[in-house]
Amino acid sequence: MKSSVVTFPGSNCDRDMDVALKKFGFKNKMVWHDDVELPKSDIVVLPGGFSYGDYLRCGSVASKSKIMKSVINFANSGGMVMGICNGFQILVETGLVPGVLLRNKYLEFICKNVFVKINDKQNTYFKNIDNNVLEFHIAHNEGNYFCTNDQLKEIEDNQQIAINYCNMDGVIEDQFNPNGSTKNIAGVFNKNKNVLGMMPHPERMIDPSLSGEDGSLFFKNLINNIK
């Protein structure tokens, strides 16, 4: 299975993602933002970081970079595109997934482990995964998911909410919402569910001696689903 990770100026989770994808069997290629064409890929990943120093709005400048035209075409033709953290911010700026990511409600940069509940398993990202709750890591300043009421109705009707912040038992309540996100939303799909944007970092949970193993579950499941 082939993957590509796009590096923008200011990306800083691109190597972690490269390590994670390779660990679970992907043949991964790094792609520079100024490239025009994507290598042949089964999945394209937009990694976390601070592309273009978060100037203007997080992800807005990166969303207009050369490679993004190919990424948008790839996504629109059904290709799998996953944006993590800053990658999610880039995806909302392209319009590939609905909504925006505002500054965290309490104006703090949040860096901690969180639990997320998988809301939908009818998709290639979470299909066949045994767990309903995963422990991932978040590290962001702008992760407060917001969308209009019309958009919210649409993503709820189409089951586009991928994961919600919750406690370890999967209870979704305001007290487990780290950043003020609407309805505790931590990740959303596009309509066809081939594009996933999420704030948590599964690539930081692939080694039990460093963190946890729920990222391993995610990536093992992902490659099996793509095969």
**Which amino acids are annotated catalytic?**
85, 201, 203
Shortest distance, position 224 Cβ to other proteins, whole Å: 35
Shortest distance, position 85 Cβ to other proteins, whole Å: 18
Q: Are strands 144-146 and 100-102 parallel, antiparallel or unpaired?
A: antiparallel
Of 99, 178, 200, 202, the residue at the interface with other proteins (CB under 8 A) is 99
Shortest distance, position 108 Cβ to other proteins, whole Å: 10
Pick the closer one to other proteins by CB: 69 or 103. Answer: 103
Pick the closer one to other proteins by CB: 110 or 133. Answer: 110
Q: Could you give the 3-state DSSP secondary structure of residue 201? A: strand
Does 69 engage in binding with other proteins (CB under 8 A)?
A: no
Shortest distance, position 177 Cβ to other proteins, whole Å: 13
Does 224 engage in binding with other proteins (CB under 8 A)?
A: no
CA pair distance 220, 53, nearest whole angstrom: 32
Using CB under 8 A as the binding rule, the residues of this chain from 119 to 178 that contact other proteins are 144, 146-148, 151
Tokens representing residue 162 in the block: 């991928």
Q: Where are the alpha helices (DSSP H) in 24-85?
A: 66-76
Of 93, 135, 203, 214, the residue at the interface with other proteins (CB under 8 A) is 93
Q: How far is CA 170 from CA 8, 118, 129, 133, in A?
A: 34, 9, 15, 6
Pick the closer one to other proteins by CB: 4 or 181. Answer: 181
- Length of the chain in terms of residues written: 227
Tokens representing residue 138 in the block: 């978040």
Using CB under 8 A as the binding rule, the residues of this chain from 45 to 64 that contact other proteins are 56-57, 60, 64
Nearest to 185 by CA among 204, 203, 200, 168: 200
